[in-house]
Chain A
């Protein structure tokens, strides 16, 4: 069952790279009041950049008339960041492994890999009318001394 959402922030930006900084600033400000340490927040910012880049570049093909909708949803135990474009979708399973020897020197193809590395979970939703929605999830830091903190963190894909 989805957990209650305590705070929701929605933004809609035009498909321009400079707008990435705007969304990143909103994320940074939001994280200041959440139990997420600065290091984790830094990597979340990179993941958000990758999601926005994919939406602007690959999804909306830099069409300034197309929007990217962003939602930051703060819940009880974590934050969900959704980034939705107005493109034609893609097959996540068809994305090449950037660690394969033949791909190491490619100049593209690492964005989704970074998102998976820096967040606890990512998943995709493809609307019937087109568009890709990617959801990035990050759990809050467990309070010091809690059972969860003592077990250490583990990423799940």
Chain B
């Protein structure tokens, strides 16, 4: 799992690449989100476009990231969801909880 961080219009964007699976991407995602929050980020966008796969541990980390950010009064959004990754979230009804946007422009605009 490779994660690049950048800023756009007051949002911290994490570009995720690879698998969010146990022992690999799940830990990397947790550390990246906690680091961003530790640096004062309140609005965090996860670019999921290049996520190849996710398992239940990765899903758990997405939920943990969401609660970590929202409990601090911030916002966490996901965008550019690959069909299969979205499918994993759909069948556990997490699309009713997590904020999922079509693309980066829509995600940035949703923070306004």
Write the nearest CB–CB distance from B97 to chain A, whole angstroms. 6
Which residues of A are in contact with B by a Cβ distance under 8 Å?
16-18, 20, 42, 45-46, 49-50, 53, 57, 98-99, 104-111, 113-114, 117
Instruction: Assess whether A110 is in contact with B59, with CB atoms less than 8 Å apart.
Output: yes
Instruction: Assess whether A46 is in contact with B63, with CB atoms less than 8 Å apart.
Output: no
Chain A binder among B7-15, B39-47, B85-93, B103-111: B85-93
Instruction: State the majority secondary structure of interface residues on B.
Output: helix
Binary interface encoding of chain B residues 19-46 relative to chain A, with 1 for a CB under 8 A from any of its CBs, else 0:
0011110000000000000000000000
By a CB distance below 8 angstroms, the chain A residues around B64 are 107
| Contact size range, B | 20 to 34
Instruction: Assess whether B94 is in contact with A104, with CB atoms less than 8 Å apart.
Output: yes
Instruction: Assess whether A49 is in contact with B55, with CB atoms less than 8 Å apart.
Output: yes
Instruction: Assess whether A99 is in contact with B93, with CB atoms less than 8 Å apart.
Output: yes
> Which of A18, A49, A109 has the most chain B CB within a 10 Å cutoff?
A49
Task: Given A98-B92, A106-B63, A107-B63, verify A46-B97 contact (CB < 8 Å).
Answer: no
Which among B55, B88, B93 is the interface contact of A53 at CB below 8 angstroms?
B55
Given A110-B59, A114-B56, output 7 extra A-B contacts at Cβ < 8 Å. A20-B22, A20-B23, A46-B53, A53-B22, A104-B96, A105-B67, A110-B56
- What are the 10 A-B residue pairs with the smallest beta carbon separation, nearest first? A17-B23, A107-B60, A110-B56, A111-B56, A49-B55, A107-B64, A53-B22, A107-B63, A17-B22, A110-B92
